Structure 1
Amino acid sequence: MPQKAADILVETLIDWGIDTVYGLPGDGINGIMEALRTRQERIRFIQVRHEESAAFMACAHAKWTGRIGCCLSTSGPGGIHLLNGLYDAKLDRAPVLAITGLQYHDLLETFTQQDVDLDKLFQDVSVFNTRVMGAAHMAKATALACRSALARQGVAHLSVPVDVQEEAQEDAARSPRNKPHPLPSTPAEGLLLPRPGDVARAAEILNGASRVAILAGRGALGATAELERCADLLAAPVAKALLGKAVLPDTHPLTTGGIGLYGTFGTHHAMAQCDALLIIGSSFPYVEYYPQPGQARGVQIDRDAQRIGLRHPAEVGLVGDARATLEALNAQLRRKTDRAFLEATQAEARRWRDTLSRAVDEPRQPMHPAVPVRALSERLPADAVVVTDSGHNTGLTARYLDLGPGHAFGVSGLLASMACGLPYAVAAALAFPGRAVFGIVGDGGLAMQLGELATAVRYRLPVKLLVIKNNTFGQIKWEQLLFLGNPEYACDLTPIDFARAAEAIGARGFSVRDPAQLGAALDAMLAVEGPVVLEVEVDPNEPLLPAVVSESYRKNLEKALAQGTAGAEALRAALGRSPAREMLATGGG
């Protein structure tokens, strides 16, 4: 049969190894939908309930697999809806191809229906962005989009007018310089390596320091063994940015856990006392949690030269693949015999875990929000995939859920967007068939994209959602109190019965308030084969605090509580309990 432009598009996607497209049908992409329908044995189309979710899923797919994630939307509002999930991919450097429809090519910018110039709209979010002008343009444009997404680790965008999708290849007018030839369907292979002289300078700095700390992020995920070797040689505690949570097991003796608002006593001690900092694959943005200016010499490893020195001064930037760069660096490091700094940091890390345990062990109603997270942690299968949404639930997961060697973890990183949790979980279940997938989400974020539970039901995905229900935007509330000392305002939520909503959508639903019933409910959730929601009602007053609360935050808290924050007495009581009490104590690290 004669090939149309849409056929060429989908064949090129298949050539580039794209096996899944997330999206919603619409009249602006009818030609593309037909090309997908006739090739559904070779490429699957996952129907979502909102285009924002399609983009989140494509981003998560790219993070999980390392391959191109692909999302598809119709013209106008469909393309607009993609943007939030695409910015998630841009900021976390995930290779994603976004395909959008457009109105008829000769009606564009004439105020026709859904006449949105998506080329201009996508300029900021994309590393490659073009409008396909005809069937003769399609193959090369699509191949370049795929290549750019992979090579530049970002979003590529193709917008295709609805009539161009239907143009037959034999009818396409080809310009004199457009000579058809195939483009290789993979980018050039090869490891990116730093210059040998830079490696030698980095080793000199690290060997000469007496108290080295390491900050590892998502870029270090493929280099666990090399990171472990480096940390051991340098007697360096490893703090983990959120996207790097799975780079070392949470119980590993060399890691201190998270950093920043989700940090620990151990991380605070390491950053406050180190005289050198090695950053590996991280752009953790909150500079107040790094060593003080002038305190620590800096070495940074990153694939992207743009990221070197952004957060902490880097005397040496090693631009290269984390695994290969660490191998080269480790060969020049001398094992430190003085382990006092590491041992002191490990003592603070143990004190942190003991402090957290006291909160979890306290039986009361409503329960501490960490209780269900720790209970799930103790039941995680060895190959579990865990996602979280953005909010108070993120901090609970960062601190109370221990990942092991076989686990994977995902979340919206630099964008920190709410509503990512359920779409990430759907993408994980599709990317890793046979593995258990768990989403730890809040009631605020889940309400934004609850419809995607129907996607999990439609495709019979084993997505298990633990909903931390506190009927408030918990993180936002504590940010209002901490950051400026303002009373909480407009953070309370109208309660939703997520267990009943899950049953209405076609999933299983459970609800727990009494901690004595939590274990049985979690076991029942684990026994369900398909999608399931376990809603756990928790104390809405439990604070989200950094491990060591600064004097300015302490003053802001007191100011906000004194100015009439609703439920101030309950909030004061929560601040007096463990672990908040220890976080507020002076000399906490």
Structure 2
Amino acid sequence: MTKTAEILLDTLEAWGVDTIFGLAGDGINGIMEALRTRQDRIRFIHVMHEESAALMATAWAKWTGRIGCCLATSGPGGIHLLNGLYDAKLDKAPVLAITGMQYHDLLGTMTQQDVDLDKLFQDVTVFNARVMGAAHVENVASLACRAALTRRGVAHLSLPVDVQEEPLSDEHPSPRNKPHPVSTALGGALTLPRPEELDRAAEILNGASRVAILAGRGALSARAELERSAELLAAPVAKALLGKAVLPDDHPHSTGGIGLYGTFGTEQAMQGCDALLIVGSTFPYIEYYPKPGQARCVQVDLDPLHISLRHPAEVGLVGDAQAVLEALNARLHRKEDRSFLAAAQEETTRWRDALHEGATAARRPMHPGAPVAALSARLPDDAVIATDSGHNTGLAARYLSLRDGHAFGVSGLLASMACGLPYAIAAGLAFPKRPVFAVVGDGGFAMQLGEFATAVRHRLDLKVLVIKNGTLGQIKWEQILFLGNPEFGCDLPDISFARAAEAMGGRGFYLDDPARLDEVMDVALATPGPVVIEALVDPNEPLLPAVMPDTYRKNLEKALEAGTPGADELRAALSRAPAREMMARHKSS
């Protein structure tokens, strides 16, 4: 007799789910048994913490475009999923979360772990249902998968533990419940803007003399079309973090990142443009966009809710970026005046020179960009790279030079710490023939350190570069720059991550001397299996925007005068490249 949990997994398999990330518990015993008997069809990835399961499912969805699935027990297990699920919600990744519940006739009676997960998950989901029996599960599981894919978000199913074991023969379907009513077909015709909208957009862009492009994750599938747009418009292309791989970092039109992780070239493009083309991005920091009234704007996005969300768009082109840009390009005229692009390219070169000077300095403690630049120079052509949220994110954004064939991932709008290792593990499982790398900070890595054992268990080709500066670096600099307060509460305990990696069955390398950088990096990257490279770096190297706003400059001086620890060392770091070049430029706030 087929049971509810078995029907659930058979339905998920029909929707292409072949990997589930989770942690066992008595609230999901029925589902675990169904997984045990389907090991040849659905792989269960046993994680160390449910938050990791949700982050891995989110990353899986981002890496593959398919449903990422996570599983947790009742009560605290389901609660632990939420952080990773909000990552999926904010970055619009198709994820299915499955949670257990207590016996159906004890729900709401204050029994152990009696948490109403249906209500708890309401804000994070696009579909949220409780399975009521064996005759119910196929319908709602199929709808959950469809909703996750079509609405690009989180679907949630909760199953009381006794319902999971209920045989189909014990429950009589209602008269209107016919078997197998829901297909796996998604359908949907390609949506394109109306011709007159494309004409208006082309008129704006053709009529401008200094066009800049901001590209995000929504442009990843439109590489060739974006490249063609940039060439026709003689436009520098700034890349939001999730769109870092949309163009190679050394592409002649790429100016690199934007915002706190921005570059001289991007600042020049955004401050000097008279038209802005936004493609697939909701980059949230509006202070880094062109000033109000400076530039006419055309925005391309699959989601109409994103149009004008950050910057007022005169024309919004709703649809798939590849198709929309192809139609738009047919209406664009090639600009003969390339001076605006040339100016941005010149500033981008200055930026790269400043980064190089800092990263190649022989001093100790080591510049935090040095190990990241050394890793970048050694990345294979098919590398998959994940980073965490924090100071390390800025280092990855600036010092990792992505090439054609590279993939890049990070928690975007949620910007959750501890995402880097789970993202990298998901990549290793999704792409077993590709080498995977992670750039993480000591703060975020410590939060999910145990998951390195998961990488060891699955023998992943994973190399983790831990930037160890003993502090929550981004928080430290936000305290200083945003409010002018002395740094407080950001110091971290001294953990030997290399030894911890060895204790978990991997390999660990320690690096604190730039003179040994090449030697250690070469040996570590040539070592098979999961590896941790623990790089001790200068904790006083500042995290600054490429061009310092006046308010940041004043707050920095205020914080230093107020007694920020290590003020003398901070002042010395500000006088060296690349901080010196950033401090030399400023803009009004």
TM-score where L is the length of structure 1: 0.99
Please tell me the residue identity of whatever aligns with 2:241: L
Aligned to 1:281: 280
Residues 582 and 588 in structure 1, CA contact (< 8 A), matched pair in contact too: no
SS in 1 for 2:565: coil
1:530 corresponds to which letter in structure 2?
G
Give the secondary structure class of the aligned counterpart of 1:413: coil
* Cα distance in 2 between the residues matched to 1:309 and 1:588: 25
Distance 1:88 1:361 in 2: 35
Determine if contact 2:548/2:586 at 8 Å carries over to the other structure: no
2:295 corresponds to 1:296: yes
AA partner of residue 258 (structure 1): G
Residue by residue, what CA displacement relative to the aligned partner does 1:202-233 show, whole Å, maximum 9, x if unpaired? Answer: 11111111111000000000110000000000
Distance in 1 between the 2:157 and 2:344 partners? 50
Structure 1 partner of 2:229: 230
Matching of residue 584 in structure 1 with residue 583 in structure 2: yes
- Partner deviation per Cα, 1:113-150 (whole Å, 9 max, x = no partner): 00000000000000000111111110010000000000
CA contact (8 A) 1:103 1:115 kept: yes
Q: How is 1:165-204 mapped onto 2 (pairs within 5 angstroms)?
A: 165-204=164-203
CA contact (8 A) 1:16 1:186 kept: no
Give the C-alpha shift of residue 587 in structure 1.
Answer: 5.4
Match of 1:159 in 2: 158
Give the SS at the match of 2:449: coil
Paired residue type of 2:71:
L
- For the 8 Å contact 2:549–2:587, the answer to whether it is kept is no
> Percent same amino acid at aligned positions?
73
For the pair 1:10 / 2:9, whether they are aligned, the reply is yes
Deviation per residue, 1:1-60 (Å, 9 max, x gap) = x11010000000100001100000110001111111111101100000000000000000
Are residues 1:118 and 2:112 paired? no
Distance 2:494 2:487 in 1: 18
Q: What is the alpha-carbon distance in structure 2 between the residues aligned to residue 344 and residue 540 of structure 1?
A: 34
In 2, distance between residues paired with 1:112 and 1:519? 58
Shift of 1:529: 1.5
Q: Alpha-carbon deviation of 1:522? A: 1.0
Distance in 1 separating the partners of 2:453 and 2:27: 24
- SS at 1:451 equivalent: helix
Name the SS for the 1:70 alignment partner: strand
Give the AA of the match of 2:555. N
- Judge conservation of contact 1:462–1:530 (CA < 8 Å) in 2: yes
Partner of 1:533: 532
Residue number in structure 2 paired with 1:555: 554
Shift of 1:354: 0.9
Retained in 1: the 8 A contact 2:52–2:422?
yes
* Count of aligned residue pairs for this structure pair: 588
In structure 2, the partner of 1:411 is 410
Q: Report what 1:435 is aligned to.
A: 434
How large is the Cα RMSD of the aligned pairs? 1.0
Uncovered stretches (5+) of structure 2, i.e. residues with no partner = none
| Alignment-mate amino acid for residue 204 of structure 1 | E
Q: Which residue of 1 is the match for residue 53 of structure 2?
A: 54
1:416-427 paired onto structure 2 within 5 Å: 416-427=415-426
SS in 1 for 2:297: strand
- Amino acid paired to 2:569: A
Task: Map 1:31-430; keep pairs closer than 5 Å.
Answer: 31-430=30-429
Once the 2 structures are TM-superposed, how far is the Cα of residue 191 of structure 1 from its aligned partner?
A: 2.3
CA distance in 1, matches of 2:21, 2:122: 21
> Which amino acid in structure 2 is aligned with residue 117 of structure 1?
D
In the alignment, structure 1 residue 498 sits paired with structure 2 residue 497: yes
For residue 532 of structure 2, give the secondary structure of its aligned residue in structure 1: strand
CA distance in 2, matches of 1:574, 1:36: 55
Q: Secondary structure at the match of 2:564?
A: coil
Residue deviations 1:511-539, cap 9 Å, x none?
01111111111111111211010101000
> Is the Cα–Cα contact under 8 Å of residues 550 and 587 in structure 2 kept in the other structure?
no
Contact 1:265 1:588 in 2 (8 A): no
For residues 322 and 183 of structure 2, the distance between their equivalents in structure 1, rounded to whole angstroms, comes to 26
Q: Deviations over 1:376-433 (max 9, x none)?
A: 0110001000100001110001001100001000000000000000000000000001
Question: In the TM superposition, what is the alpha-carbon distance from 1:103 to its structure 2 partner?
Answer: 0.5
Question: Which whole-Å CA distance do the structure 2 matches of 1:196 and 1:168 have between them?
Answer: 55
* Cα distance between partner residues in 1 of 2:99 and 2:352: 48
Using the TM superposition, give the Cα deviation of residue 254 of structure 1 relative to its aligned residue in structure 2, in angstroms. Answer: 0.3
Q: Structure 1 stretches (4+) deviating beyond 4 angstroms?
A: none
AA matched with 2:411: S
C-alpha distance after superposition, 1:321-347 (max 9, x if no partner):
010111000011111111111111111
